[in-house]
Amino acid sequence: MSILIPEAPIVSLCGSPEETEALGTQLAAKLQGGSVIALHGDLGAGKTVIARGIARGLGIQSAVTSPTFTVVQEYLGNVWTLYHIDLYRLSSEDDAIAFGIEDFLADRSAITILEWAERLPTLLPAETVHITLERVRETERRITQQQGRPASSKPSEQQ
């Protein structure tokens, strides 16, 4: 599977949640079935906002909220199913395996978005698109996209 994200990082500066959502919508146009998007960032960084944008780009008009308490939300898009998974409450990769994460990651008929993806250090496919959201100011975010390894402007966070 080939996603149209280069291995070199793409850095965007978004000045509002609306701009962050719009970036997600643009990203959705580059995705194919089987795409895995790993979202990284602190609480409140905008992970769910960019996930909502990706959902909109896939033709999903229903409310998109963080699946913190349900772990997985499933949405039917125009072409692809979207799995929005929040790993925040999981304590290990074994917990993720127990609820079937490997099935979601292998589903070629769906797009899978993972919030708190760093909780799956060895399970993510090599072609995963990593998106790191960093707070610059109250509503401004630096968003780094990179395929194949976690995107970060901090070398200590690179894998």
pLDDT, one tens digit for every residue, the chain (159 residues): 445 555 678 888 898 999 999 999 999 999 999 999 999 999 889 999 999 999 999 999 998 988 777 889 999 988 999 999 999 988 889 999 998 999 999 999 999 999 999 888 899 998 999 999 999 988 889 999 988 765 443 433 433
Q: What is the pLDDT of residue 6?
A: 56
Q: Taking the domains of the chain in order of start, what are their residue ranges? A: 32-152
Q: What is the pLDDT of residue 149?
A: 60
pLDDT tens digits, residue range 94-108?
A: 999 998 999 999 999
| β-pair partners for 113 | 37, 84
**For residues 71-94, b (16+ Cβ closer than 10 Å) or e, as one string?**
bebebebeebbbbbbbbeebeeee
Domain 32-152 in CATH 3.40.50.300: yes
The runs of H, that is alpha helices, within the chain are 17-28, 47-57, 93-98, 101-106
Q: Helices 17-28 and 47-57, interaxial angle, to 10°?
A: 40
Q: What is the pLDDT of residue 91?
A: 86
Residues comprising the chain, all counted: 159
Cα–Cα separations (whole angstroms), residue 108 to 2, 83, 95, 111: 12, 12, 23, 8
